[in-house]
Amino acid sequence: MSESTPVYVGLVGAALMVLSSTLAYNLSGEDCEDEFESSLEDYADCTEKLADNQRFVSFLDSLGYPILLFSLVLAIMGRK
């Protein structure tokens, strides 16, 4: 194992967490009011899409923490 492996793994974990935070911020301003005024079917599609996007953001965020912890374990194991 290279000495830089924990750094790269940590960067991947941090990048996932930054990406999920950015996506969560962008999703926070979305709503389905316009679709509600047009038709109930469009509103249902919009809320389903919004819920799918929120689940994806939550998945990315929950994936970042274990990767960061794994990089910490790699760094501890790699110490001499």
pTM: 0.75
- DSSP class of residue 4 equals T
Instruction: Specify the amino acid at residue 36.
Output: F
What's the pLDDT tens digit per position in 22-72? 998 988 877 777 777 788 888 888 889 999 999 999 999 899 889 989 998
pLDDT of residue 35: 73
Q: Compute CA distances 8 → 50, 56, 58, 77, 79, whole Å.
A: 32, 23, 23, 15, 16
pLDDT higher than threshold 70 for residue 76: yes
pLDDT of residue 1: 66
Q: Which of 3, 23, 4, 28 is nearest to 64 (CA)?
A: 23
- Six token digits for residue 45: 């599609």
pLDDT of residue 80: 64
Distance in angstroms (rounded) separating the CA atoms of residues 53 and 32? 13
